[in-house]
């Protein structure tokens, strides 16, 4: 199983993480995640951006976690959405989350870290070796000009990811994402056609982030037979309302990380511009967070 340890390097203490999870633990988490998707109730997953937030969400009672590429990018002082975070940096981050949790984690692997189907397959195999219970792969090129992979290539990439996922020695839930409404190509017909192609390729869960309205959400859920994943970051729909539309899984993307950063931004501006500290009124104490993140046993 992943273990968290530390070692002194150059006078500083740095975290290190083993790269592989015990196969029995990977099977346990993978089966839990698979079974969550087989139940009638909607699956709701928060998106941690570091080990502390992952532990907090687990201790609050969530049954699984979904990572956020934007949350990681911001924590590293990078921009999101342009490939600024490498595969190695992403997998180091994922290992740190697995090391401190006991619930399933599905990873935001952006576009699989390469255009070629074989690169995407290798990325999924690496996710499996780490002990993740699932992952998402996007059809965004991260390049100027044409923001989405041509549909047939995009489907080939998902097919390669599915084959790699199915070859793993434990259950692994693969999510395929159509990025039309994220990447400036807000064509609902094309997004649905892409999701249908990814469904035929064998994806377990399908997602088109930021579908514009209830009609589009209902249409996606009626068109597809596999579970539809909705990212709730720009909506006032409730979980019960989304479930009634046919949505089977909900995450919040970078919204929890953005909420934390927004609160920090407001507090920092108050200190800088007014020289006051009312921003700290009513905050939970360090002792409170000790119990939320690592309660005494």
Consecutive 10-residue averages of pLDDT for the chain (297 residues): 33 41 96 97 98 98 98 98 97 97 98 98 98 98 94 98 98 98 97 98 98 97 98 91 98 98 98 98 97 88
- For residue 70, what pLDDT is reported? 98
Quote the tokens at residue 187.
């064509």
What homologous superfamily does CATH list for 22-293?
A: Phosphoenolpyruvate-binding domains (3.20.20.60)
- For residue 297, what pLDDT is reported? 67
Closest-CA residue to 164 (of 120, 204, 196)? 120
Report the alpha-carbon distance of residue 60 to residue 58 in Å, rounded: 5
- For residue 235, what pLDDT is reported? 81
Please write down the long-range contacts of 109-112, taking CB distance under 8 Å and 24 or more positions apart. Answer: 109/135, 109/136, 109/137, 110/69, 110/83, 110/138, 110/140, 110/142, 111/83, 111/137, 111/138, 111/139, 111/140, 111/141, 111/142, 112/137, 112/138, 112/157, 112/161
- For residue 144, what pLDDT is reported? 84
Delimit the domains of the chain by residue range.
22-293
Report the alpha-carbon distance of residue 138 to residue 70 in Å, rounded: 14
Quote the tokens at residue 45.
């997953």
């Amino acid at each position: 199983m992943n273990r968290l340890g530390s070692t002194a390097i150059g006078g500083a203490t740095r975290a290190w993480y083993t790269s592989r999870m015990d196969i029995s633990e990977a099977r346990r988490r993978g089966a839990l995640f698979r079974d969550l998707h087989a139940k009638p109730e909607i699956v709701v997953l928060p998106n941690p951006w570091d080990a502390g937030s992952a532990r907090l969400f687990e201790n609050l009672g969530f049954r699984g976690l979904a990572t956020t590429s934007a949350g990681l990018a911001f924590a590293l002082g990078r921009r999101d959405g342009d490939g600024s975070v490498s595969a190695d940096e992403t997998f180091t981050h994922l290992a740190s989350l697995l090391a401190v949790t006991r619930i399933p984690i599905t990873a935001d692997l952006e576009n699989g870290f390469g255009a070629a189907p074989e690169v995407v397959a290798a990325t999924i195999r690496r996710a499996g070796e780490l002990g993740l219970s699932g992952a998402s792969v996007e059809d965004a090129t991260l390049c100027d000009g044409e923001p989405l992979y041509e549909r047939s290539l995009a489907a080939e990439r998902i097919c390669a990811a599915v084959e790699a996922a199915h070859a793993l020695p434990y259950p692994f839930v693969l999510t395929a994402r159509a990025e039309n409404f994220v990447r400036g190509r807000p064509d609902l017909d094309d997004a649905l056609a892409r999701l249908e192609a990814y469904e035929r390729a064998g994806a377990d869960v399908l997602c088109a982030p930021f579908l514009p309205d209830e009609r589009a959400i209902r249409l996606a859920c009626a068109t597809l037979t596999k579970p539809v994943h909705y990212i709730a970051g720009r909506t006032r729909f409730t979980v019960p309302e989304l479930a009634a539309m046919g949505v089977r899984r909900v995450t919040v993307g970078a919204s929890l990380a953005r909420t934390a950063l927004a609160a920090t931004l407001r507090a920092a501006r108050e200190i800088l511009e007014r020289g006051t500290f009312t921003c700290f009124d009513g905050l939970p104490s360090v002792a409170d967070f000790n119990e939320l993140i690592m309660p005494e046993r």
